[in-house]
Amino acid sequence: MIKTPPTPSAPDRRVADSVARSFVDRAPEGWRPYLRLARYDRPVGFWLLAIPCFWGLALAAIETGITLALFGYAVLLAIGAIAMRGAGCTWNDIADRDLDAKVARTADRPLAAGTISVKQALAFLAAQCAVGGLVLVFLPPLAIAIALAALLLVAAYPFMKRITWWPQVWLGLTFNWGVLVGYAALGGTDWLAAGLLYAAAALWTLGYDTIYACQDMEDDALVGVKSSARALGNAIGPAVGAIYGTSLALTAAAAIKAGAGLIFAPVFAAYAVHLVWQASRFRPEDGAGCLAHFKSNREAGLILLTALMLAALAPM
């Protein structure tokens, strides 16, 4: 029988930009801080971690064909993405709990607000990592080795905002490692194509997380947190456009190198339009708008996934 964790010492608090009236708000009070710590009340992050895994699988499928193995690995990588996104957020909040308490958008996070202790958070972190480790057992050896290499990126990420103006670059390298894991899992062999898609995905994340970081520029300046949004200043709009443009070029190169046929082009064009729309429409001073544009990248990622899957169904 699973026992409900003890009620935390501080009352549960909803976190800024969480989904209103999510299942987290209806969960037993003792569970809520853990669910908020893993960002179950902000599910877009699960999508943004899982989608690159699916891209890697779809890119490999252009070479190998679509098989039942693809769908089996997709389920495994989705479970792994949920577990490891939660673990990454838990680790990030452990490292950032003092900074989070000073920033309006993050002050209600469980560790910053005192609704959960560091000891409890570490135990929860271990449990999530155990789930992620269980997923690895079902992957091929090369995919396991590649997945384990990502732990170094994950461990270092929370500290990047203290030492570089470009922590979003590190996030891009970390969040899109699943491209390589998915590609290896399905047995792809064109590693230049996989590398091009990984680089494209990393730039995609740099673009959307720069938009996301616009929400915190004033508070980040007060507490000394660095970000690409602060580094770019008045050039944020054109810079995001250039970042997205380079990402699109690399994505097209990856698909062509992998052998995608013309069927890839129309849906890829829709993906390109989506990124151009984001870059041209977001306004750094509009926090709510920046959040909405950031969240729209779930749809953008699924559009590109559709293009890659069509290419796998009808390769050149």
- The confidence score (pLDDT) of residue 4 equals 44
* Residues 105-148 pLDDT 10s: 888 899 999 999 999 999 999 999 999 999 999 999 999 999 99
How many Cβ atoms are within 10 Å of 281's Cβ, its own excluded? 13
Length of the chain: 316
d(CA 186, CA 140): 8
Nearest to 271 by CA among 245, 236, 290: 245
* Residues 274-297 pLDDT 10s: 999 999 999 999 999 999 999 999
- Kindly report the average pLDDT of the chain as a whole number: 93
Measured torsion, CA atoms of residues 299, 302, 304, 307, in degrees rounded to the nearest 10:
-130
Cα atoms in the Cβ-side hemisphere of radius 13 Å centred on 282? 34
- 141-163 and 68-100 are packed helices; what angle lies between their axes, rounded to 10 degrees? 20
d(CA 153, CA 161): 13
Alpha helices in the chain (DSSP H): 23-26, 32-37, 44-64, 68-100, 110-113, 118-136, 141-163, 167-175, 178-185, 191-213, 217-223, 228-232, 236-258, 264-281, 287-295, 297-313
Nearest to 312 by CA among 58, 75, 70, 71: 58
- The confidence score (pLDDT) of residue 219 equals 83
| 224 pLDDT more than 90 | no
* Residues 56-111 pLDDT 10s: 999 999 999 999 999 999 999 999 999 999 999 999 999 999 888 888 888 889 99
How many Cβ atoms are within 10 Å of 137's Cβ, its own excluded? 8
Mean pLDDT across the stretch 210-234? 91
Question: How far from the centroid of its chain's Cα atoms is residue 115's Cα?
Answer: 25
Write the CA distances from 48 to 12, 92, 100, 176, 179, integer angstroms. Answer: 27, 17, 22, 8, 12
Could you tell me the domains of the chain?
Answer: 32-313 (1.10.357.140)
Phi, psi at residue 189, to the nearest 5°? -120, -10
CA-atom Rg of the chain in angstroms: 19
- The confidence score (pLDDT) of residue 103 equals 82
d(CA 239, CA 198): 20
- The confidence score (pLDDT) of residue 10 equals 67
Question: How far from the centroid of its chain's Cα atoms is residue 266's Cα?
Answer: 26
* Residues 9-50 pLDDT 10s: 567 777 776 777 788 888 998 999 999 999 999 999 999 999
Q: Could you tell me which residue, 168 or 2, shows the higher pLDDT?
A: 168
Contact 73, 185 (CB under 8 A): yes
Contact 166, 225 (CB under 8 A): no
